[in-house]
Amino acid sequence: MSAEPPSPHRSPAASHTGTERRSTALHTDRYELTMLQAALADGTAQRHCVFEVFTRRLPPGRRYGVVAGTGRLLEALSTFRFGDAELAYLSREGVVDRATLEYLADYRFHGTISGYAEGECFFPGSPVLSVEGTFAEAVLLETLVLSILNHDSAVASAASRMTGAAIGRPCLEMGSRRTHEESAVAAARATAVAGFAGTSNLEAGRRYGLRTIGTAAHAFTLLHDDERSAFAAQVRALGPGTTLLVDTYDVAQGVRNAVEAAGTDLGAVRLDSGDLPFLAQEVRHQLDALGATGTRIVVSSDLDEHAIAALAAAPVDSYGVGTSVVTGSGAPTCGMVYKLVAREGPDGTLQPVAKASATKKSLGGRKQAARRLDESGRAIEEVVVGGPDHAVTGWTPDTADLRPLHVPLVNDGAVDTRWTGAPGVALAAQTHERSRAELPPGATRLSAGDPAVPTVQTTLTD
């Protein structure tokens, strides 16, 4: 089964869809431009190169990671342009010389990018992204690539642990107030990739077609003279299907007031404090006794994957998650790196290059990847394929038990738009559901352990 969906739709990376966005060209580190200046000066800037993104290890206790942010990266690539304002800043600050400014004025990425489909699970050593082009083209993308993939993949990896612990009950993202305003939008998107059913963030809803959720906070109840009048006002405005927050004062009285205001057709009550497993049981009994048997119970209050798992036996219908998910639940980055693995040699062929640092070794040469499945369709190995460049470039699995993992994302500068916008999020969510389902049963355990699937390397020969 290939990870690549059918019917590609491509658009030039230079094009924009919808509202024009600000340039992303300065979302980068200075040394990328100073390396470019030196390479332009000594003639190596046009050498053909391959960069790869991978992580050397998973965060402690994690058994798999989730690739997320690919669609956002492709969108950002379309605005990676050095316009007059960006060039004026670089000139004024003396960051690079005139020859480099002239190169940047015409910069467009004309290379090729492939990688794991967004939503795919990954493991240490997985070559999740490959960027190929001239050194000048590809080196400038390092910080853009890593800042997006590290953040979004960390959030999606945490979110996947939460949706796994929820065992089919919806998880709702409510973390906008716990992170930077743009990070909040990116985080909401990443949680959707990992199966979250909704977000409180309206901008994420607008950009990516996500379902938005939310009704009222404690402030709305405190605004009114009493809880009854607050609930009555909310029901008049939003209808009986709304969700009423019942723990501002006394929970039991709050439930009675909620059913009195909305009737037995009340949509849901939310609990945001206290001993949630105990309260959920008490509230469920109370709602049933009042005839509101269809009223759902939503819980929030600093939930993470462990708290969600602890509520598995409680009569909870959905979980509202904030701080923990938008900060990666203790692992705010995936530790992904962007390394040069091959470059054009004097004879015109691609030659492997690699770091030899004691704790930061890299594996040289272009690589492909596939996942080995057993007879039941469960993943048993992550297979990373290396060897002579011409052999790796044309490699495809020769056995039915290997599922290829790399898909084309950018071809000669043209972005595959299937991975962008709202359709891209939906496609990534489908990919993640399939990918996680093929992992071994122990992959979703929250206890510390080794990666769920071992990574093995195989070398092709001429």
**pLDDT tens sequence across 399-408:** 999 999 999 9
DSSP 445-456: --S--S-SS-EE
pLDDT exceeds 70 at position 10 = no
Which tokens in the block code for residue 217?
A: 């906070």
In a domain, 443, yes or no: yes
For residue 261, the Cα-to-chain-centroid distance in whole angstroms is: 40
Mark whether 303 and 340 lie in a shared domain: no
pLDDT band for position 12 (50/70/90)? very low
Domain final residue, candidates 263, 296, 318:
318
Mean pLDDT, range 426-440, rounded to an integer: 98
Q: What is the pLDDT of residues 18-43, one digit of tens each?
A: 345 789 999 999 999 999 999 999 99
pLDDT at residue 19, rounded to an integer: 41
Mark whether 224 and 151 lie in a shared domain: no
Mark whether 81 and 128 lie in a shared domain: yes
Q: What is the distance between the alpha carbons of residues 193 and 215, in angstroms, rounded to a whole number?
A: 24
Which of 271, 279, 333, 278 minimizes the C-alpha distance to 298? 271
Mark whether 106 and 18 lie in a shared domain: yes
Q: What is the distance between the alpha carbons of residues 235 and 320, in angstroms, rounded to a whole number?
A: 21
Mark whether 222 and 313 lie in a shared domain: yes
Q: What is the distance between the alpha carbons of residues 194 and 161, in angstroms, rounded to a whole number?
A: 9
In a domain, 280, yes or no: yes
In a domain, 410, yes or no: yes
Backbone angles phi, psi at 188, to 5 degrees: -60, -40
Which of 83, 143, 156, 80 minimizes the C-alpha distance to 116? 156
CATH number at residue 289: 3.20.20.70
Which tokens in the block code for residue 306?
A: 């462990």
pLDDT at residue 20, rounded to an integer: 53
Q: What is the pLDDT of residues 227-251, one digit of tens each?
A: 999 999 999 999 999 999 999 999 9
pLDDT at residue 4, rounded to an integer: 39
Angle at 409 between CA 56 and CA 149, to 5 degrees: 40
Domain hosting residue 114, numbered range: 10-156+330-459
In a domain, 4, yes or no: no
Tell me how many domains the chain contains. Answer: 2
β-pairing, 402-404 vs 368-373, is antiparallel
pLDDT band for position 17 (50/70/90)? very low
Radius of gyration of the chain (CA): 25
**Window from 2-16, 41-55, 302-316, 430-444 with minimum mean pLDDT:** 2-16
Side-chain-side CA neighbours of residue 71 (13 Å): 24
Mean pLDDT, range 147-156, rounded to an integer: 98
Mark whether 144 and 120 lie in a shared domain: yes
pLDDT at residue 253, rounded to an integer: 98
**What is the residue-averaged pLDDT of the chain?**
93
pLDDT at residue 8, rounded to an integer: 38
Mean pLDDT, range 271-286, rounded to an integer: 97
pLDDT band for position 360 (50/70/90)? low
Mark whether 147 and 14 lie in a shared domain: yes
Mark whether 65 and 122 lie in a shared domain: yes
Mark whether 101 and 17 lie in a shared domain: yes
Mark whether 279 and 337 lie in a shared domain: no
**Window from 54-63, 106-115, 275-284 with minimum mean pLDDT:** 54-63
pLDDT at residue 358, rounded to an integer: 62
Q: What is the pLDDT of residues 118-150, one digit of tens each?
A: 999 999 999 999 999 999 999 999 999 999 999
Using a pLDDT cut of 90, give the percent of the chain over it. Answer: 88
In a domain, 382, yes or no: yes
Domain final residue, candidates 288, 318, 348:
318
In a domain, 235, yes or no: yes
Q: How far is CA 395 from CA 213, 274, 462, in A?
A: 46, 56, 12
Mark whether 374 and 419 lie in a shared domain: yes
In a domain, 166, yes or no: no
Q: What is the distance between the alpha carbons of residues 274 and 67, in angstroms, rounded to a whole number?
A: 35
pLDDT at residue 288, rounded to an integer: 98
pLDDT exceeds 50 at position 5 = no
Please name every residue paired with 369 in a beta bridge, in sequence order, or none if there are none.
384
Mark whether 138 and 15 lie in a shared domain: yes
Angle at 372 between CA 430 and CA 360, to 5 degrees: 90
pLDDT band for position 361 (50/70/90)? low
Q: What is the distance between the alpha carbons of residues 304 and 330, in angstroms, rounded to a whole number?
A: 10
pLDDT exceeds 50 at position 94 = yes
pLDDT exceeds 70 at position 172 = yes
pLDDT at residue 7, rounded to an integer: 38
pLDDT band for position 296 (50/70/90)? very high
In a domain, 188, yes or no: no
Domain final residue, candidates 265, 291, 318:
318
Which of 297, 69, 276, 284 minimizes the C-alpha distance to 172? 297
CATH number at residue 145: 3.20.140.10
